[in-house]
Amino acid sequence: MHINVKKEILGSGPAIIGFVILLVMIMAALLAPLIAPYDPQQQSVSSLLAPSMSHWLGTNHVGQDIWSQLLYGARTSLLVGFSVGALAVLFGSICGVSAALIGGLYERIIMRLVDSLIVIPMIIVIIVIAAYIKPNILVLIVLLSLLSWESGARIIWSQTLSLKERGYIAAARSFGARKSYLAWRHIIPALGPILLVDFIYGIRRAVFLEAGLAFLGISDPATISWGMMMRDALGFSYLNVWQWWLVPTGIALSLTIVGLTFIGHAVEPIIDPRLRGAEVA
Amino acid sequence: MLSRQHIITYGIALVFILALNFLLPRMMPGDPLMAIYGEEALVAMTPQLKAELVERFALDQSIWQQVGAYVLALLRGELGYSYYYNAPVFSVVLGRLPWTLLLVGTSLVLSTILGIVLGVESGWRRGSWTDRTMLAGLMSLNGFPDFFVGMVLLIVFGVIGGIFPLAGALTPYSGLTGWASVADIVTHMVLPVTALSLAHLSGGYLLTRNTMITVLKEPYILTARAKGLPPHAVKYRHAGRNSLLPVVTQTGIWAGRVFTGALFVELVFAYPGVGYLTYEAMMARDYPVIQGLFLVVAVAVLAANFLVELSYRKLDPRVSRAH
């Protein structure tokens, strides 16, 4: 599987747009403490102000600066997104690769478990768990990662099975290479592009879920989140504040997800090479 | 028919759901009765009622006896009692289910049909300007969370436009009957259904387009063209129909997604389905209802997946022989 990921991505217009969007969001998240004009938690008596020079996007119902909240919201979204993406890839590849290499009863147990998790609607599981333990951001990351590694594990498993039969890996095995050596030296590097796709879609799912859960009221009130901001804004939809409160927040969230989709879609032909050339005009 | 493998898979999923539902309240620190019923309900309880509930859940006995009591209660269809709604959980959930099914069913049908048609057209013209615009447009749409789409629709067509009602599924106390009440339900449905359908359009579209691209390379398409069939016949009868199969498998998974999507959209429109009920129950800390909802929704989604898998096997006999 020799694929030039860089070429694959840079050859696609939407992917470049996706990268630019993601880069802007990452910058906003990293530089939030420097760019944000106010402390996003700072409440004031000047609530529901219209945009002005001092408050670019006005203020919310408790007088917090919306622009500053928007910047800090990017932090939460991306922190949850990247952490969950990485952890899900980690769990997925540990289970997928080990199941394919070890085989036997172990493989059967792991794969049955994976299949079962795939058919369970995860949002509902998270909601019921969150109803009991009000999760802070760390717990949320762990929870989301534990519940979103299974589809990646399935793809990684099937790819490892086919890799195992390749000439060079069969050769290494015939020289007596141990399974752990095979996994680290040959399988994981060859899986690189697939892990990348899994990672990107993992981030996308986590960003969406985090916002959705916060929108439902399942979040740590101390953490500023786009979902929470939209939920607050919904309560004031009869005023004209939605123009600078709801819309920018929703657009920021949507753009982040769109950017990740564009990148993911450009890398996807790696998993299914039959799609290659579908974009080329 | 179904392999043993699949029955085991769904069996494990079901056990996982039941185990989670059983263990969660019992793993919470403190009085399990409080975790099962919530603080507020417990304050209002008389000692006799408490004793009765401890006995019903077998809380004073070993964990296995508790499991037994739990399973027996489920088999009798008992999901507990909601002190917030003052009714059995089962009937509370059942009363809301039709609204959600109406919303989800309509959206699923609309978005799947539209997705297939757009996917066939797009894949047929692959690489063209139309195809690229549709692809970029629908992929962007895919990024817009359903609740955000819903809120924008609500503000534009509800608050500003005043064309559609803002909340609910019916006009309360309107006393409408016959066609007038059907029209009332439909006008209340338009915005939530549009939000859900738009947000879930891209799944069917992308999948159909991808399959279409693969199918169009098949020799039988060349044959169909060579024998002089008109393009629309090749497009829909030969390529389109064969692009349907993957869409059918995905419908089960989409059903789950649209169902959970409805959770968010119902909250936006205060639509009285199970999604809004989940929200109300969480706000009221009505744990029996949350648990009952979780069980009903999770099992419903499992059942949908299971049925789709069955029908898929009927549609494509190769699948059942593949294992």
Q: What is the CATH number of the domain that holds B119?
A: 1.10.3720.10
| ipTM (interface pTM) | 0.81
Contact B267, B168 (CB under 8 A): no
Coil/strand/helix, residue B162: coil
Sign of CA dihedral B192, A250, A227, B157: negative
Residues B102 and B65 in one domain: no
- Comparing CB atoms, the residue among B143, B151, B294 nearest residue A257 is B143
Contact B290 A230 (CB under 8 A): no
- Residue B46 in any domain: the answer is yes
- Residue B323 in any domain: the answer is no
Residues B217 and B243 in one domain: yes
Of B50, B78, B106, which residue constitutes the final position of a domain?
Answer: B78
pLDDT at A87: 94
pLDDT of A275 > 60? The answer is no
pLDDT at A278: 43
- Distance between CA atoms of A125 and B289, rounded to whole angstroms? 14
Give chain B positions within 8 Å (CB) of A265: 139
- Residue B322 in any domain: the answer is no
pLDDT at B29: 66
pLDDT at B318: 63
List, in sequence order, every residue forming a beta bridge with B82; answer none if it has no partner: B87
Residues B41 and B103 in one domain: no
Q: Of A11-20, A77-86, A133-142, B54-63, where does mean pLDDT reach its minimum?
A: B54-63
Q: Average pLDDT of chain B?
A: 80
**B155 contact A CB<8A:** yes
- Of residues A159, A152, A154, A167, the one with CA closest to residue A190: A159
pLDDT of A2 > 70? The answer is no
pLDDT at B323: 44
Residues B72 and B104 in one domain: no
Cα A206 to chain centroid distance, Å, stands at 4
Element (H, E) at B99: helix B89-124
pLDDT bin (cut points 50, 70, 90) of residue A277 is very low
Element (H, E) at B82: strand B81-82
pLDDT at A86: 94
pLDDT at A24: 92
Segment 20-49 of chain B within 8 Å of chain A by CB: 20-21, 24-25, 28, 35
Residues B56 and B106 in one domain: no
* Angle CA A186–A192–A193, to nearest 5: 140
Residues B13 and B127 in one domain: no
- Comparing CB atoms, the residue among A121, A128, A256 nearest residue B20 is A128
Contact B8 A258 (CB under 8 A): no
Contacts 24+ apart (CB under 8 A), B47-51: none
User: Phi, psi (5° rounding) for residue A224?
Assistant: -80, 130
- Residue B170 in any domain: the answer is yes
Residues B26 and B174 in one domain: no
Contact B127 A280 (CB under 8 A): yes
Residues B11 and B42 in one domain: yes
- Comparing CB atoms, the residue among B13, B135, B301 nearest residue A116 is B13
- Distance between CA atoms of B245 and B241, rounded to whole angstroms? 8
CA terminus-to-terminus distance, chain A: 25
Cα A85 to chain centroid distance, Å, stands at 5
pLDDT bin (cut points 50, 70, 90) of residue B132 is confident
- Distance between CA atoms of A273 and B213, rounded to whole angstroms? 12
- Comparing CB atoms, the residue among A120, A257, A261 nearest residue B13 is A120
Element (H, E) at B102: helix B89-124
Residues B22 and B121 in one domain: no
- Distance between CA atoms of B319 and B314, rounded to whole angstroms? 9
- Segment of A83-92, B248-257, B280-289 carrying the highest mean pLDDT: A83-92
pLDDT of A43 > 90? The answer is no
State the DSSP code for A270.
Answer: G
pLDDT at A280: 35
pLDDT at A127: 84
Q: What is the pTM of this model?
A: 0.84
Contact A127 B278 (CB under 8 A): yes
pLDDT bin (cut points 50, 70, 90) of residue B42 is low
Mean pLDDT for the stretch of residues B67-90:
80
**B128 contact A CB<8A:** yes
Coil/strand/helix, residue A127: helix
pLDDT of B40 > 80? The answer is no
Question: Which pLDDT tens digit goes with each residue over B171-223?
Answer: 777 677 777 778 888 888 888 999 888 888 888 888 888 888 888 888 888 88
What is the signed CA dihedral for A228, A200, A156, B252, rounded to 10 degrees?
50
Distances (CA, A) of B103 to A14, A65, B164, B262, B315: 33, 37, 16, 7, 27
Task: For residue B76, give the amino acid letter.
Answer: R
Q: What tokens were used for A269?
A: 């032909």
Of B78, B105, B124, which residue constitutes the final position of a domain?
Answer: B78
pLDDT of B246 > 50? The answer is yes
For A49: left if phi > 0, alpha if psi spans -120 to 50, otherwise beta; the answer is beta
Residues B46 and B119 in one domain: no
- Residue B185 in any domain: the answer is yes
| Count of CB atoms situated within 10 Å of the CB of B10 | 20
Question: Which pLDDT tens digit goes with each residue over A76-109?
Answer: 899 999 999 999 999 999 998 888 888 788 888 8
Element (H, E) at B88: strand B87-88
pLDDT bin (cut points 50, 70, 90) of residue A18 is confident
Question: Which pLDDT tens digit goes with each residue over A149-204?
Answer: 888 888 888 888 888 877 888 888 788 778 777 778 778 888 888 888 889 989 99
Mean pLDDT for the stretch of residues A248-265:
89
- Non-local CB neighbours of B60 within 8 Å, separated by 6+ positions: B54
Alpha helices by DSSP H, listed for A11-146, are: 13-35, 66-102, 104-119, 122-132, 137-146
State the DSSP code for B314.
Answer: H
Q: Average pLDDT of chain A?
A: 82
* Cα Rg of chain A, angstroms: 22
Contact B274, B96 (CB under 8 A): yes
- Non-local CB neighbours of A144 within 8 Å, separated by 6+ positions: A80, A84, A88, A126, A206, A209, A210
State the DSSP code for B87.
Answer: E
Of B78, B108, B133, which residue constitutes the final position of a domain?
Answer: B78
Residue in A closest to B11 by C-alpha = A116
Which option is the CATH number for A10-36+58-280: 1.10.260.40, 1.10.510.10, 1.10.1380.10, 1.10.3720.10?
1.10.3720.10
Mean pLDDT for the stretch of residues A128-138:
83
- Residue B133 in any domain: the answer is yes
State the DSSP code for B81.
Answer: E
Question: Which pLDDT tens digit goes with each residue over B299-323?
Answer: 888 887 788 777 766 666 665 554 4
pLDDT at A141: 92
Structural domain that includes position B115: 96-316
- Distance between CA atoms of B31 and B39, rounded to whole angstroms? 10
State the DSSP code for B139.
Answer: H
Q: Which residue has the tokens 């390379």?
A: B217
Looking at the structure of chain B, the number of domains it has is 2
Segment 275-294 of chain B within 8 Å of chain A by CB: 278-279, 282-283, 287, 290-291, 294
- Comparing CB atoms, the residue among B5, B144, B298 nearest residue A254 is B144
Give chain A positions within 8 Å (CB) of B148: 230, 250, 253-254
pLDDT bin (cut points 50, 70, 90) of residue A33 is confident
pLDDT at A281: 29
pLDDT at B20: 86
Distances (CA, A) of B272 to A234, B100, B247, B293: 17, 8, 30, 14
Residues B37-72 as b or e (16 or more Cβ within 10 Å = b): bbeebbeebeeeeeeebeeebbbeeeeeebeebbee
- Distance between CA atoms of B112 and B149, rounded to whole angstroms? 18
- Residue B84 in any domain: the answer is no
